[in-house]
């Protein structure tokens, strides 16, 4: 059986607003034409805070109207989170009609991708019952927040590889008090985003059973 194609759009450091607009455009085109290929955006963001649709401002430790940092309220689920360089962000634009039309299944699949990446480094990541994301020795290292419209997905996951974690101290990440945020670099010094990107692509292709096609590589051939 031939695997479903999924395009890989591997970008570098992208301002949040630009990536958000790109996702909205990709989703809109697939709502109009469901036969279009799925696509996985992989990138990093300059420092930015994002809040889900119903996220509480109580989880911010600063005034969002008087801050030097960008703050966006977006259409994903979940509370407030922080993005910055050194954090690998993935935005899968998938048509779940071709997978399973089940949001819980989809969230667990995204977690499984992260768990397999960690396992490849000999790290034992795990889920916390009743919560979404991936933990490692008591630290939350990956956050997940999605939006699905007519079974087309957007937003996705962030994996802390080697970021400056100081920005998380200005919020209560994901609205979960008492559970610190960590990074893979705490356990594997000198780990870099590019290395993790390659391993994440392999895990994503395996978990979702897709053929991942690098757009950049295809354009060079």
Active site residues: 174
| Measured distance CA(179)–CA(201) in Å, rounded | 28
Annotation-wise, does 79 bind a ligand? yes
| Measured distance CA(45)–CA(47) in Å, rounded | 6
Annotation-wise, does 172 bind a ligand? no
Instruction: Give the distance, in angstroms, between the CA of residue 198 and the centroid of all CA atoms in the same chain.
Output: 15
Annotation-wise, does 83 bind a ligand? yes
Residue 85 contacts residue 163 (beta carbons within 8 Å): yes
Residue 67 contacts residue 57 (beta carbons within 8 Å): no
DSSP bridge partners of 195: none
Annotation-wise, does 126 bind a ligand? no
Annotation-wise, does 145 bind a ligand? yes
Annotation-wise, does 76 bind a ligand? yes
Q: Quick one: which H or E segment has residue 196?
A: helix 193-208
How far is CA 69 from each of CA 49, 57, 61, 132, rounded to the nearest angstrom? Answer: 7, 15, 13, 26
Annotation-wise, does 221 bind a ligand? no
Annotation-wise, does 81 bind a ligand? yes
Annotation-wise, does 207 bind a ligand? no
Structural tokens at position 212: 């991942």
Known binding-site residue numbers for substrate? 76-83, 143-145, 156-158
Annotated binding site: 76-83, 143-145, 156-158
């Amino acid at each position: 059986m031939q695997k479903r194609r999924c395009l890989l759009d591997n970008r570098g450091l992208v301002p949040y607003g630009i990536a958000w607009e790109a996702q909205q455009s990709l989703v809109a085109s697939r709502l109009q034409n469901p036969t279009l290929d799925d696509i996985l955006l992989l990138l990093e963001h300059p420092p930015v805070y994002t809040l889900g649709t119903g996220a509480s401002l109580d989880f911010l430790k600063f005034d969002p109207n008087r801050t030097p940092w960008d703050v966006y309220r977006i259409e994903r689920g979940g509370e407030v989170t922080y993005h910055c360089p050194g954090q690998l962000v993935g935005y899968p634009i998938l048509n779940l009609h071709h997978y399973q039309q089940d949001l819980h299944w989809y969230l667990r699949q995204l977690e499984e991708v992260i768990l397999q990446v960690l396992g490849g480094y000999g790290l034992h990541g795990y889920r916390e019952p009743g919560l979404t994301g991936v933990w490692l020795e008591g630290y939350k290292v990956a956050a997940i927040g999605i939006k699905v419209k007519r079974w087309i997905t957007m937003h996705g996951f962030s994996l802390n590889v080697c970021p400056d974690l100081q920005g998380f101290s200005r919020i209560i990440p994901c609205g979960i008090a008492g559970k610190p945020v960590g990074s893979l670099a705490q356990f594997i010094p000198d780990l870099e985003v590019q290395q993790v990107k390659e391993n994440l692509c392999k895990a994503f292709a395996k978990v979702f059973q897709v053929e991942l096609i690098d757009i950049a590589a295809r354009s060079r051939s």
